[in-house]
A and B are shown apart, each in its own frame.
Chain A
Amino acid sequence: MDRWLAKRSAEGRNRVVYRVLNLAIILALLLFALRGLLTTG
């Protein structure tokens, strides 16, 4: 990951981290919404 980020510009790194944050937020939202199915099977 570090080596991959090292080849990106400052704005490129910002964008990558922003997408990772968004992905984590959306994943958490989906898990929250689907927890009924996840916990009861």
Chain B
Amino acid sequence: MNPRLLIALYLLIVLLPLGLSWAGERPPRSLWDELASGAGMLAFAIVLAEFLLSGRFRTVSNRIGMDVTMRFHQLLARSALALALVHPFLYSAPTKPAYPWDTTRQLTLSDDFSAYSTGLFAWLLLPVLVLLAIGRSRLDYRYETWRLMHGIGAALIAGLLLHHTLHAGRYSQDPLLAGVWKGLFEIALASLLFVYLVKPALKRLSPWVVERVRKVGLKTWEVTIAPQGHKGLRYQAGQFVWLNIGHGAASLAENPFSISSAPASGNRLQFIIKELGDFTRTVGDIAPGTRAHVDGPHGNLVVTGRKEPGIALIAGGVGIAPLIGILRQLHYEGDARPTTLVYGNRVAEQMACREELETLTREHGTRVVHALYEPPEGWTGRTGMCDGDLIREVFDSAEARQWLYVLCGPPAMMEVVETALIGMGVSAGQILSERFDYG
């Protein structure tokens, strides 16, 4: 979806309850009471919209990227938290039964304890949910355990907030606004059920099987999977999938991996996986024939349809995975545009697909620039990090400033390279990048 349309839709969802409250027939109260109610409504609306920003919906994330979607999910959660935390402290009206002449409750707040208690529980749980998510990488959780807790916690908070809003909220006594809250809640819940129930069911219908696992570099493996009883996946070079190997379709034990194969090469999918975490350390032990499930494709690291006169691919370590997929596809298609690959690694043994890159240089004319941080004796290539100096050395020409740049690697490398490219005069629109570290 177009990013501007996404922003407009987002604001529409988040501001709708406030707008309906404004348009309703209840007269305004004091500034502080209205700020309090408004903050509460906005916090709840942002919480509900967070379900759609979970990164699993291609309609939302395909144009802007899953990493950008997840970043907004993280940032907007902080806005919701801030609004929710101040919400109860802004009220100035007394909590007591309504005066007989005050039918719109302009002068008092509801004294229904059950309606407050759900708000209080949500008020206590929301900071815990946000803080656990912010500190996830520092806590000793398995990713799937955290994800399950996060999903259940979010659904619980949304349910508590719905009860609190419908029973304690002054404006939510309006049937139209109450219907909107219920509708938004149902959409949020349906999105969760879609991710946890419908998607696994669809994955069960389209299983895959591991065909081959081979070592392609130091602690780096290439995994090939083949479709079982279906035609495979329609994807574009550079995209990624959530891959689950050896678990049931409904298992949360899945990780995002870039597809390193080219769509033109057939219906097998290949992945280049480095031993980094719980699952990846065991990749070398996966036996051919193991069942796999795929959720995707996702991602916007796609050069299809781009008209730039040349394509630069800049990879750090295992970031080569989607970029070799793009190079393979360009080679299959006979794309005549010049291509340059800058490939940084710590040591020579980490370089994956070295022979294939040499073949691509010979047959496709791809210029490959290797950079090693700890080069071996007799190394004649670049030494050091894949940094701004290297990028300026390789690409600082009027012609290369018009190229398309595709980046994949560690976050620090991507930031340095992106800053260097923008400093050289390359427009941000010519730079494609996708991060897999969501913090």
A residues sitting closer than 8 Å to B (CB atoms) are 5-11, 13-14, 17-18, 20-22, 24-25, 28-30, 32-36, 39
Q: Is the CB of A32 within 8 A of B22?
A: yes
Q: Which of B15, B418, B422 interacts with A28 by CB under 8 Å? A: B15
Q: Is the interface of B mostly helix, strand, loop or mixed?
A: helix
Q: In the complex where A8-B422, A9-B428, A35-B22 touch, is A18 in contact with B433 (Cβ < 8 A)?
A: no
Taking CB atoms, residues of chain A closer than 8 Å to B21 are 32
What would 5 more interface pairs be, CB under 8 Å, given A9-B419, A10-B418, A10-B431? A6-B427, A7-B422, A10-B67, A34-B34, A35-B22
B150 proximal to A (CB < 8 A): no
Q: Which of B67, B68, B79, B418 interacts with A25 by CB under 8 Å? A: B79
Number of interface residues of B (CB under 8 A): 34
B71 proximal to A (CB < 8 A): yes
Q: Which of A8, A17, A22 interacts with B7 by CB under 8 Å? A: A17
Q: Is the CB of B38 within 8 A of A29?
A: yes
- Whole-angstrom distance between the alpha carbons of A24 and B39 in the complex? 13
Q: Is the CB of A7 within 8 A of B72?
A: no
Near A by CB (< 8 A), chain B positions 44-89 give 46, 67-68, 71-72, 75-76, 79
- Closest chain-B Cβ to A17's Cβ sits at a distance in Å of 7
- Closest chain-A Cβ to B184's Cβ sits at a distance in Å of 16
- Closest chain-B Cβ to A36's Cβ sits at a distance in Å of 3
- Whole-angstrom distance between the alpha carbons of A11 and B95 in the complex? 44
| 0/1 string, B110-154, CB within 8 A of A gives 1 | 000000000000000000000000000000000000000000000
